[in-house]
Amino acid sequence: MPFIDDVLTYKSLSIVGLEKNTGKTECLNYVLGRLKDMDKRIALTSIGIDGESRDIVTNTQKPEIRIYKGMIFISAEKHYLQRQITSEILDVSNIHTSLGRLVIAKAISSDKVLLSGPPDTHCLKAIIAEMNRYNVDLTIVDGALSRLSLASPAVTEGMVLATGAAYSANIPELVRKTKYVVDLINLPEVEPELKRKLDFVESGIFAVDAESNLHDLKVQSVFMLEKAKDKIFSYGNRLFVAGATSNNLFEFLRMQKNMANIELIVKDFTKIFATPDVYYSFVKKGGKVRVATKTKLAAVCINPTSPQGYRLSSDELKAAMQDALQMPVYDVKKLK
Strands 65-67, 111-113: pairing kind: antiparallel
With 90 as the cut, is the pLDDT of residue 133 above it? yes
Alpha-helical segments (H) within the chain: 4-7, 24-35, 77-81, 121-130, 171-185, 192-198, 229-232, 247-254, 276-284, 314-325
d(CA 39, CA 4): 13
pLDDT at 335: 80
Q: What is the pLDDT of residue 57?
A: 46
State the pLDDT at residue 84. 86
The string of DSSP letters for 147-173 reads TT-SS-GGGSSEEEEEEETTT-SSHHH
Q: What pLDDT is attached to residue 148?
A: 65
The pLDDT of residue 147 is 64
pLDDT in tens, 155-199: 999 999 999 999 999 999 999 999 999 999 999 999 999 999 999
Q: pLDDT, tens digit, for every residue of 301-319?
A: 999 998 888 899 999 999 9
* CATH entry 3.40.140 includes domain 192-291: yes
pLDDT at 260 over 90: no
Q: What is the mean pLDDT of residues 58-63?
A: 55
Q: Which amino acid is at 205?
A: I
Q: For residue 92, which phi and psi values (nearest 5 degrees)?
A: -120, 115
Q: Residue 112: is it exposed, middle or buried by C-beta count within 10 angstroms (0-12/13-18/19+)?
A: middle
| 58 Cβ neighbours under 8 A, 6+ residues apart | 20, 21, 307
Mean pLDDT on 112-132: 93
Give the mean pLDDT of 28-36.
94
User: What's the 3-state SS for 260-289?
Assistant: HHCEEEECCHHHECCCHHHHHHHHHCCCEE
Q: Which of 49-58, 107-116, 160-169, 249-258 has the lowest mean pLDDT?
A: 49-58
pLDDT beyond 90 at 20: no
| Phi, psi for 16 (deg, rounded to 5) | -125, 135
What is the percentage of the chain residues whose pLDDT exceeds 90? 73
User: Length of the chain in residues, anyone?
Assistant: 336
DSSP letter for 305, please: B
Q: pLDDT at residue 35 above 80?
A: yes
Domain range list for the chain: 4-186+295-334, 192-291
Instruction: Convert the pLDDT of each residue in 285-294 to its tens digit.
Output: 999 999 999 9
Backbone torsions φ then ψ of 178, nearest 5 degrees: -70, -40
Residue 323 has a pLDDT of: 97
Assign domain 4-186+295-334 to a CATH class. alpha beta
Q: Which whole number is the average pLDDT over 270-284? A: 95
State residue 274's pLDDT score. 96
What integer pLDDT is reported at residue 34 of this predicted model?
94
Out of 43-52, 75-84, 193-202, pick the least confident: 43-52
- Please give the sequence-ordered ranges of beta strands (E in DSSP) within 20-119, or none if there are none: 42-46, 49-50, 65-67, 72-76, 87-97, 100-107, 111-113, 115-116
pLDDT for the residue numbered 269:
96
Q: For 73-98, what is the mean pLDDT?
A: 93
Q: What is the pLDDT of residue 50?
A: 54
Angle between helices 247-254 and 276-284 (to 10 degrees): 20
d(CA 213, CA 193): 10
Lowest mean pLDDT among 42-56, 119-133, 154-168: 42-56
Does 53 have pLDDT greater than 50?
A: no
pLDDT value of position 336: 63
The pLDDT, as a whole number, for residue 174 is 96
Reduce the DSSP state of residue 175 to 3 states and report it: helix
